[in-house]
């Protein structure tokens, strides 16, 4: 009976560790479950997402980031999304994509121009005007949105309108070229866009028009006084206090913001997007294009396929990606190709340096024209173009000249490498079947040799050809080695 009792009690004892592990797992799951989280924080606490663009150019990469952030805010039912903006401007298409998504957002979007010293220039003005609430930090500025700063062509200010006279013929001011007419249409379209965004949220449409036509700009306090933005906030907590209780219109529905005690969550751009946005820099795109050419050129200089060719191909792929994002001038791209072709031709054609000079000039002009924008941050800097063009000329001419010289150099190994080499007869050649046969010493090796004329020991000979393991030599008349008779 005691043995039976020990067996019954021993079963729970063996399972006790499993029970302890189960309790730990269950407790951990309960602590990490939404129920436990709800006990730690109130369920009615609002969520505010903050996306930051820090001195970023508005391009397809940043546009995709902001659009994805708005979608995330809608999915998580955030109380509002704050876009902390600091940009010198960007591309028209990307700006329109952002403003269109802001206007369609089911979540209030607040654009906050910050930090101090930041700006919402050019494209940043349109994004700020499209926001449901617009705010600025002290020490920031907004404006200067002439189309020239949106990546387009330089547009002159519109000509003043003069009263019509009684003449029926065209006035001198109306005789505009097709290009100036297109420029005027683009300017009018941009002005209408700015006025529409400003009027939609009850902001100063007249000043928005001046910002486009005359590149007007305003500080944070001036913008608040003019009604361009809603208010000035020193930081995010101050901004949330000013936003709390404010009523905004979302798709025709009035929504009151309750964000005083909101949970603030920062959303950073993914490392991939940061990398691609950095690659889309015009200077870096130009350098990647040149480095790709260097890598391919280095691979041609060295046999096989190695690091140079791999790096060159990667650089070319990244350069092509950057050029697909930026507004490329294909005339400038063609000049770059012509310049590189002239430098390659310099190694094969005797031009006394004229091809190299032409190549440097073509690369310089092509680099300056590569990006179709007169704005500084969307152009390739001359400080980058000129040194790279000169360095490209030097490197190209040097490497290709070495390649050509190595191709023209006679072989140094194998059968071809032994032709016309000097050798020394190691013995007296004997007559055998109409030819003189003997042994010569060449490159420290002994070779069976044949000659049409007699050869004495120590006499210098020249290798004319090779037939298998036999050399055909021609004796140098009058020249003998140290071992031969005088």
User: What is the pLDDT, as a whole number, of residue 211?
Assistant: 92
Query: CA of 47: how far to CAs of 35, 114, 157, in Å?
Result: 18, 21, 45
User: Is the overall model pTM greater than 0.85, yes or no?
Assistant: no
In this prediction, residue 181 carries a pLDDT of: 67
Residue 120 clears pLDDT 90, i.e. is over it: yes
Say what the pLDDT of residue 257 is.
94
Q: Report the range out of 107-116, 182-191, 403-412, 466-475 with the highest average pLDDT.
A: 107-116
Token code pair at residue 365: 């002009």
Residue 361 has pLDDT above 50, yes or no: yes
Structure confidence by residue, pLDDT tens digits, 62-100 = 999 999 999 999 999 999 999 999 998 888 888 999 999
Burial class (CB in 10 A: 0-12, 13-18, 19+), 27: exposed
- Whether 47-158+182-272 and 414-480 share one fold: the answer is no
Does 125 score more than 50 pLDDT?
yes
Give 137-170 pLDDT, tens digit per residue: 999 999 987 765 443 333 444 444 444 444 444 4
Fold of 414-480: OB fold (Dihydrolipoamide Acetyltransferase, E2P) (2.40.50)
Closest by CA position to 451, among listed 461, 338, 441, 377: 461
CB 359 within 8 A of CB 346: yes
User: Stretch 452-472: mean pLDDT, rounded?
Assistant: 84
Q: Return the pLDDT at 416.
A: 60
Two tokens, residue 405: 């010289």
Q: What is the pLDDT of residue 241?
A: 94
Q: What residue segments make up the domains of the chain, in order of their start?
A: 47-158+182-272, 282-408, 414-480
- The pLDDT score that the predictor gives to residue 31 is 43
Among 3.40.50.450, 3.40.50.880, 3.40.50.1980, 3.90.226.10, what is the CATH number of 47-158+182-272? 3.90.226.10
Q: What percent of the chain has pLDDT over 70?
A: 73
Q: What is the pLDDT of residue 184?
A: 75
């Amino acid at each position: 009976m005691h043995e039976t009792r020990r067996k019954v009690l021993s079963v729970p004892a063996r399972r006790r560790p499993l029970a302890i592990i189960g309790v730990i797992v269950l407790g951990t799951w309960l602590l990490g479950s939404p129920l436990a989280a709800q006990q730690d924080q109130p369920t009615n606490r609002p969520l505010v997402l903050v996306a930051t663009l820090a001195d970023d150019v508005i391009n397809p990469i940043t546009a995709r980031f902001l659009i994805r952030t708005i979608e995330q805010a809608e999915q998580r039912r955030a109380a509002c999304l704050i876009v902390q903006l600091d940009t010198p401007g960007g591309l028209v298409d990307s700006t329109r994509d952002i403003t269109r998504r802001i206007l369609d957002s089911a979540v209030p979007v607040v654009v906050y121009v910050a930090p101090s010293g930041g700006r919402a220039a050019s494209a940043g003005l349109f994004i700020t005007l499209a926001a449901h609430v617009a705010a600025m930090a002290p020490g920031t500025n907004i404006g200067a949105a002439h189309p020239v700063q949106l990546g387009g062509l330089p547009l002159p200010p519109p000509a003043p309108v003069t009263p019509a006279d009684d003449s029926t013929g065209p006035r001198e001011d109306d005789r505009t070229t097709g290009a100036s007419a297109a420029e005027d249409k683009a300017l009018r379209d941009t002005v209408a866009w700015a006025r529409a965004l400003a009027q939609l949220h009850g902001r100063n449409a007249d000043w928005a028009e001046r910002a486009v036509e005359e590149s007007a700009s305003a500080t944070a306090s001036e913008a608040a006084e003019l009604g361009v933005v809603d208010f000035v906030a020193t930081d995010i907590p101050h901004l949330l206090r000013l936003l709390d209780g404010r009523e905004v219109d979302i798709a025709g529905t009035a929504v009151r913001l309750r964000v005083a005690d909101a949970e603030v969550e920062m959303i950073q751009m993914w490392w991939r997007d940061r990398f691609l946005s950095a690659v889309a820099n015009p200077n870096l795109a130009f350098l990647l294009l040149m480095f790709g050419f260097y890598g391919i050129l280095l691979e041609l200089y060295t046999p096989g396929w190695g690091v140079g060719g791999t790096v060159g191909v990667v650089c070319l792929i990244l350069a092509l990606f950057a050029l697909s994002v930026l507004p490329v001038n294909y005339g400038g791209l063609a000049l770059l190709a012509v310049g590189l072709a002239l430098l390659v031709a310099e190694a094969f054609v005797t031009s006394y340096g004229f091809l190299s000079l032409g190549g440097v000039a073509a690369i310089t002009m092509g680099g300056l024209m590569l990006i179709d924008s007169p704005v500084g941050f969307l152009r390739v800097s001359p400080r980058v173009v000129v040194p790279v063009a000169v360095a490209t000329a030097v490197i190209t001419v040097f490497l290709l000249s070495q390649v050509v010289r190595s191709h023209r150099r006679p072989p140094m190994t194998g059968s071809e490498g032994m032709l016309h080499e000097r050798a020394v007869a190691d013995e007296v050649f004997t007559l055998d079947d109409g030819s003189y046969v003997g042994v010569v010493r060449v490159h420290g090796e002994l070779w069976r040799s044949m000659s049409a004329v007699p050869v004495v020991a120590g006499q210098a000979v020249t290798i004319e050809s090779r037939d298998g393991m036999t050399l055909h030599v021609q004796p140098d008349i009058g020249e003998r080695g140290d071992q031969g008779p005088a």
